[in-house]
Every structure is written in C-alpha cells, then in structure tokens.
Structure 1
C-alpha cells in the first residue's frame, strides 16, 4: 500500500486500486499535484483489509485485477454499506461492463490511457458527490434527533401536516379539538426547528423512511 499526503488531514482523498504499480504511481503524482491526498492498493482484498480514513473522497478502481475485479469490489463495498463514489479505469472495457458499473452507481467509466484533465474532472465530480452525500447524511442525523424529541401525538400531527391536511381535518382524524391541534402543531414546529411548512416538509423528506 502506498500513501501520499498533501498535509490536509481532513481534505479530500482518492483511494486507488490497481494491480499495475506504474499506473498507481502516475495517478498518485497527478492527484497530489492538485492537492488531493491519495492512498493506493494493489488489489481489492488489500483495500478491504485496510482501515480507511473517514474523509470525503472517491475510489478509483481498475476493472480487471487478479482476485476481486473492480466490478466485484464495487458489489462487496455496496453490501458493506460503503458509499464512497467510484470511478472505474480499464484498459479492456466494453459497453456491457460500463453499463453494469454505471447502473450500480459508478460516477464514471474511463478507458486507459485517459487524459489527465478527463481523469481529474471525473475525480472532482466524485468527490463533490461524496461531500454532498456526507452533508445530507449529517442533516438527516440531526433531524432524526429532533424528530425523536416529539411526543407520539406530535408525530401524528407532523405526518398529517406534511400530507397537506388542515387543522380541521387533523382534528377530525385524531378526534381532538382544533385548539388542541394548534397546540400540538406549534410545539412540533418548535421542536423540529421548522421555520415554515415548506421547511418542515424538507425536514420530513430528509428523515429515513424507517424512522418515520
């Protein structure tokens, strides 16, 4: 395994997996030249055995390698819940492989030799995707914590509010007075830090389905 750093401990990192040391070295040099840290592995199993840093970034996988192929590794990572965006590099790619990789969520499927700028653009897109994913995950966790402060009745009111029900309809559905609905609704909005109904709807949408 090779590790190169730009000195930014929490900056983006690109993890390279390729059995060709010459390719790994060249890509590391290119990425480090634009300030992107790198880690490199010669096989998929080596990657799986390693402790990876919890930083925004992407994976660059060779398609054909001894042992686990890049496509196999993509599948294994997905089953482990590792959602780091993937860019594939191949010297022997075909349309079917590219379609399979993209359907499974790859950001790009590039054929060697690849132009430096094309490669950097793909990596930049993948890193941006990971930054956005991590930000959304942080927001979701925060909103789940807020949701868990609601009483069972406030949760019922929340579900009905985001479904578009009026206070009168909510009162009828729950068998309570409109005044009581307004009280629960006010408390719920405060606990969820919701500034408006549209904001509340966005908060609701960020909650994992199984936590609602």
Structure 2
C-alpha cells in the first residue's frame, strides 16, 4: 500500500494515477494529521509492504514533523518514507536521510525513478515485517527453549544438547518440538535460515 500525504489535491491525484499505472494500491491524505488518524484506526501492516510519499511542506503538520512522530514510534522501517518537495535543498535532503528517510525527491521528479524507489521501499517494508515476525516468535520461547535453540543453531545433536544442559534426551526432544512449533518451521535448516 502506498500512502500519499500531500496538502495539494492535484499532486495527490497525479501521484495516485502514477502509482495505479504500475498497479500499486494507494491511499491519499490531505495532511499529516489525517494520515496519523488513519494509522491509529488500522489493525496491522500490509504484508505486501508499505511506503509513504510525504510532502515536506504542509500547513497543518509538516512532513518533517510527521516523520519525527513515526520515527519516535519506531515505524519508519515498516513504513519507509520518501520525501517529496518543490522547495528542497541539499542540507534538508541530507538531514532527512541521516534521520532514516528512505529517499528524497525534489519536484519535478522522474516518474519512473520515483516508482522504482517506491517498489524498493515495499521490499524493505516486507523485510522489516518478516524480521519483526521472527522477533515476536522468539519472544514466545522460554529461557530453556532459547538455550536449546542456541545449541541447535550451533549444530549440536540432541544427545550433546542433553549432556551440556544436564537434562534428558527426551526433554531436549520436547523442547525442540516446542521450538519448531513456535517458530513455525519443520527442520533445523529452516530455523537456521530464518535466524541468519
């Protein structure tokens, strides 16, 4: 989902048309406040990835202020921000990129380059979502399951894990089954790939 946040209707309309020419689903907002209200009402992120095209200068809440709010909430990895401005300067671009913006385009911009970057932002958003999902799953493991997990990832067999932890091999097997279930994998190889 592409979120377009710009106070000028003609810009919102043209960006929406441009995105739809690449079959990118869009939602447009006339202000940062409207976007934040919509964000609060949502339940989850789009698994296909998301990106915000954000105008720097808006009357209600500047793009920079909205970016700071998203940054403070830790949302800019799941919602990468591409700034758009007709009044940009090099220091502003450098500052926003240093603070974690995905990119910065000065109007007028090359339509294809902008949409290419939007698609790259979607990929980054999906990757951040996958990492967050793995982190959430890891948080469900008990301390002992984490110990067993570390030894599985070190390539140790159940008997060796049992000896190192001072538990029975059957207990290791039970922990291993719980780990695979909680992490939603079937093999140690899948587990290793997920956690690399």
TM-score, length of structure 2 as denominator length: 0.75
Aligned to 1:210: none
Which one of 75, 87, 92 corresponds to residue 82 of structure 2? 87
Any gaps of 5 or more consecutive residues in structure 1? 1-12, 207-212
Shift of 1:21: 1.7
**Total equivalences in the alignment:** 183
Please, what is the CA RMSD of the aligned residues? 3.0
Matched, 1:187 2:179: no
Shift of 1:183: 4.2
- Deviation larger for 104-113 or 91-100: 91-100
Any gaps of 5 or more consecutive residues in structure 2? 181-185
Question: CA 1:47/1:169 → structure 2, altered by over 3 Å: closer, same or farther?
Answer: closer
Which one of 119, 123, 126 corresponds to residue 118 of structure 2? 123
TM-score, length of structure 1 as denominator length: 0.70
Which one of 4, 12, 18 corresponds to residue 30 of structure 1? 18
Matched, 1:75 2:62: no
Shift of 1:171: 4.5
Task: Please tell me whether Structure 1 or Structure 2 has the larger radius of gyration of its CA atoms.
Answer: 1
Deviations 1:48-95 (A, max 9, x none): 223357423211001122232212111101223433111111112222
Which one of 50, 62, 75 corresponds to residue 57 of structure 1? 50
Shift of 1:34: 1.9
